[in-house]
Structures are given as structure tokens and as C-alpha cells.
Structure 1
């Protein structure tokens, strides 16, 4: 882990997907927007807060389009670029799509950051796109007060294999591909409490491409997929519940966590986004007796480049877990199930 002369995380008021506008505030902002054009070819738009837009171009092909960008979550510029690019491409994988190419979105305080540092950020994004097998084919740059980097990611999917976040079924099992705790780790990093192996664990998680997505999409027993990012596990699972008109039950003890996530929370290292998330949707989440503020923080912790959340039939669980393991997701876990009931989440 190298650090530039100017710490990237000190140049921004928030970092990673913790920069997201809180769900409740975003809902109010969008409430005043007039309905846009809704052609029949638009298979996925804004209606269920899904991961990407999907537009059908012929019976076998649909374009997947998404964009994601944020301020630094780490100080190493190359790692920042890698994390931001991995996060942006994840939304294509979450729809069951295969990435085709990307466009870079770059906003940098050019009079504050050395040009070499900015170059390393862009190189980190290039390296991840190379690993995903896609080019960065263009983009846009501006001189901004805070450093911002991300991608527009374009992919393709067979409409028959498209996986929305709103098609879960009662009786489905819930599977999470990556450990939680990225926001907590980023808060510890800002306080200089994140050391060697802790940092390595966070980087390993946030730069791991969600490559099982297109393969999972080909399984008939996989009904819904999303990725867990800035709204935390509870927030993104709640979107699945609302879209599918079902209730989720989550076993807290089964949640995969970064090694010291609980320890850092108990030491007081958490993000402001966690509290904003709970204020936005906490009334729809029921915590079992005995689950404390630490559990609540981990459920709402904003994940940057988080894992795929899969809702699948019980007889498909083994195949889903196998695909994740084959792609190097060693902490993939079955965390709960979907059931009939008022949309919401029961944590036990």
C-alpha cells in the first residue's frame, strides 16, 4: 500500500459508495420527476431501482448500460482506480450481462494532485478493464474540487437470461457472494487504524470482479440478482423485497464479514452513510431480540464494489455456490430465504 504526498481520502467529504445520496432523500428528489419515454424495448428502467438499464435490440440481444463513480475510498491512487472500475462493471454482471466496453468519468483537482497520481488512478481502471476483457473506449474529464473517478459500463445480455432484482420467488434461498464491512474498514482507514493484512483483505474484496453473473443468469433456478453497494445489504435486499412483493428472512450469524469488521464497529469506526441508510429504511427491517447496534451497522454498512446477492430455488443452491467457488469467492454464503408477506426484512 503506497500513499501519495496528498492523501486522497482527505480531499473528499465521503468515499466509495458511501457517497451515495441516502435512499429517502433520493426518493424525494425523484418524486418530482415527470415520467419519461418508456418504449417497449426498454426492458429495465428506473421502476425497481435495478442495477442497470436494459434495452432490447433484437430477440437474442439487449444492451446493458450503467454508470458509477465516486470519491476515493483509499489513498493509493492505483487501488482507487481499480476499486472504482470493478464497482462500475459489477452492475453489468448483476443483470446477467457480459461487459463490452467502458467510458471513463474523471473529475480531478488538477492544481492539487500531481499528474502522476491522476495517471495512476486511470491506470488502475485500465488494469481492471483489461482483466474483464474490455477496452476503455473514451470518456470525459473535468477539473473538480474533489477527486472523482468511475466508468460508464456497457454490456450485452440475452433477454431470456436477464436477471432483475424484482423476480425473487417465495421459498428462494438468498446467497451473498462477498463479505460485508467495506464501509467500516474505510472508516478505520481514515483514522489510520487499518494495517497490512486488513488493507489487503479490503482490496481483495473490492477489486474482485463479479464474474459469476453471466453464468448464474443461465441457470433457470436463479430468479433474481442484484449487487450490494452503497445502501448496504439491508437496503439492496429491501429493493428485492419491494420489487418481488415478498418478505426476506436473514440469519445474521450466516453473514460473511471481513475479518475485523465487527471489531472495528465496536471500536466506533463507522460511516455516516450507515446511519443515513437506517434512517431511510429502518422501519422495514425487524431485528430479533439480542441483535444490537453493531448488527444494525453491519446490515446498513455501505459496500463499495460489494458482492452479488442471489435469490434462487433451493435445488439450485449447490450449483450457485459451486460457480462462486470456482471463480474464487471463498466466503460465499447462504444467508436466508424469501417468503410470502409484507415487503420487509426479518433479521434473526
Structure 2
């Protein structure tokens, strides 16, 4: 086992958030569940909506956020796998406008096939990201299984008035995204041994960037809704925001940002199979996506950026905060009154 060159991605059919259960199948699973939320008024956000995390009110000025997120390897390097998975899990707390306070690890490892020392490197990667976020990796749970899996259960806090759900957008709100797209495409290029070294470095940079800016957005009354872009692609997560608010998202297709170099891989038809899974799930509720444009709209992201709905009268204030925090963001569209489709690309 010591002499083997282990590529963690050979143990994953779908990389990172691309291994999510398909949207249609997930809807079927949730529709057939035999249990429902308890009628507890302190459960402010539960499974009755498609949000990023659960939120439970502790007191008048304190609510607890809890989320769990894990997946199969998106890269071959164990340490980077741990970093990416941890940053992705933390993102759910930031997407609610909250502050993480501690995390527990979730680890599955095929100890007969892959050196357990590599599992230790995965944990170290997760611990580093938690340290950068200012929280402890307090504990966790591990099992021996056929697939390597890693992630975190994260607990966070937020003032109840500052909770940002994915359903709060209002007509006229501007839509921003805080990271360019293309993680799934680059991860596929890696699995096919087609990725350039510079593009790999760029993928790692974006996939490990922590979405801490979401905590700052939570304090802004003119930010009405927020979510992060993950396995369902920007199209799927825009639809959740639009449908949750009873609106339509009008998007400038040319304004959707891509990571440098990604378009070259799209031109070579290098992208995840799950791109089509997302397209099949969401195409009937969208309009204006032509030909290969579906790839950038449906590419499953891992630790993607935040989608933010901003009251239009506060655009300058919002962009000033972005500049002060040295946070990039792209204005990609607006929410309008509901029409026949949930997302319209112009």
C-alpha cells in the first residue's frame, strides 16, 4: 500500500458536490417521507423549504444554525480534499448570514484499499480551513466503508433578525454572485488528465476560498436573500430563490463569470455528466439558454460563490462593502414579477 500511487478521484463517480442525488430523485424522496417537521415555533428554518441549513431560535437575540455536508473526492491530493470539503460545509452557515462556532468531522475511509495516513491528511486539511475560519474542529465520527467521504457538521449562530434564507428576494432586487463558475468542469478535466497546471491551481484557489463575506451580508437589511451555488449549478439555485419568493430571475447570460480557462474545456466537451442531470431537471422552467450555454448554467459547483439578492436603492452601499472587504462580485441580473418560467436568460 505504501508504494501505490493513490488517486483519490478514482474512487468517486461524481466529484465533490457533483455526487449529489439528482434533483428529481431527491424531490421524490422528500415527497414520500413519512415524518414532518414538529410544530415547533422555534424552528425558524427547517425541511419545509430548500434552504442551506436549519435554524433554531435559542433566545430573543440568538439563533443556532446547523448544517451537514460531505462528499466523495474532487481532487487526488488528500490535504486539498479536506480543505475543499471543509470550506464547502462552512459555506452553508455563511449563506444563512451566520457565524460558525465549531464543527465535527464526518469521515468514511476504505482502510483496506487506501492508506489510513491519507485519511489523516484529509482531516488536517479540514482542520486548517476551520482554523482559518476561527473555529475548532471539535470532534467527529468515522466509519470503514468502500468509498472515501469527508465533510463537516457545522454549528453556527445568528441574530434571528439577520437570518438570510433563499426565499426572501423581492421584486426589483439585484442579483450578485461572489465567485466565477467552472469548478465542476475543471474537476472533470482533472479526472480525465486534461487539466493544465495553472488551471488546477486556479481550481484549488477558488474551491478553498471561504465564503466568510456571508457573515457580513447577514448584518445588512438591504440584503433580502442569499444562498450558495453548489451541486445543482447556478440555474438550479437561482430557481430555488425565484420560486421560493414567487418571482422570476432575469439573467444577463453574458454577465455570468467563468474561471479563467474554463471556456477552453467546454469547447472540448469536457464537463461533468451531471451537467445534463441538472439540465434535464431545470430546462423546462427556464428560457433563453441556447446550445452549449447550458454547461455554464448547469455545471455542479463545489464551494461555489454566494448568490445575493440586494435592494436596488442600496447598490452603491453594497458594492462599497465588497470593495472594503476586497471581495469580488458580479451583478448578473434582477428579480421580476413571476412569469411563465423561473429563470429567463437575456
* Superposition TM-score, scaled by structure 2 size: 0.96
- Unaligned regions of 5+ residues in structure 1, if any? none
SS in structure 2 of the partner of residue 337 of structure 1? strand
**Is the contact made by 1:178 and 1:329 (CA closer than 8 Å) also made in structure 2?**
no
CA shift digits 1:216-260 (9 cap, x unpaired): 111111000000000000000100011100000011111111112
Asked if the contact 1:212/1:323 (under 8 Å) is kept, the reply is: no
Q: Cα deviation per residue 1:46-101 (whole Å; 9 max; x = unaligned)?
A: 12200000000100000000000000000011110000000000000000000000
Assess if the C-alpha contact under 8 Å between 2:37 and 2:46 holds in 1: no
**Structure 2 Cα separation of the partners of residues 329 and 213 of structure 1:** 11
| Residues 292-318 of structure 1 deviation map (CA, whole Å, 9 limit, x = unaligned) | 22x111101000000010001112223
* Counterpart-to-counterpart distance in 1, 2:115 and 2:6: 9
What does the per-residue CA deviation read over 1:167-192, in whole Å, with 9 as the maximum and x for residues that have no partner?
A: 10000000000010110111111111
Tell me the CA shift for residue 146 of structure 1.
1.0
Q: How far apart are residue 320 of structure 1 and its match? A: 2.7
| Aligned residue in 2 for 1:10 | 10
Q: Distance in 2 between matches of 1:181 and 1:57?
A: 39
Q: Which residue of 2 aligns with 1:309?
A: 307
User: What is the match of residue 100 of structure 1?
Assistant: 101
**Inter-partner Cα distance in structure 2 for 1:70 and 1:231:** 14
Task: List per-residue Cα deviations over 1:129-152 (Å, max 9, x = no partner).
Answer: 000000111110001111100000
The offset of 1:326, in angstroms, is 3.8
| Residue 264 of structure 1: how far off its partner (Å) | 0.7
Check if 1:164 corresponds to 2:161. no
Q: Distance in 2 between matches of 1:37 and 1:337?
A: 35
Paired with 2:253 and 2:322, the residues of 1 have a C-alpha distance of 21
Note the C-alpha offset of 1:323. 3.1
In structure 1, the residue corresponding to 2:132 is in which secondary structure?
Answer: helix
**Secondary structure of the corresponding residue to residue 223 of structure 1:** strand
RMSD over equivalenced CA pairs, Å: 1.2
Q: What does residue 318 of structure 2 align with?
A: 320
- Look up the SS of the partner of 1:152 in the other structure: strand
- How many residues are treated as equivalent by the alignment? 341
User: Conserved in 2, the CA contact under 8 Å of 1:233 and 1:300?
Assistant: yes
Matches within 5 A, 1:253-264: 253-264=254-265
Q: Is the 8 A contact 1:216 1:323 kept in 2?
A: no
**Pair 318,113 (structure 1): closer, same or farther in 2 beyond 3 Å:** farther
Unaligned runs of 5+ residues in structure 2 are none
Aligned residue for 1:211? 212
Tell me what 2:45 maps to. Answer: 44
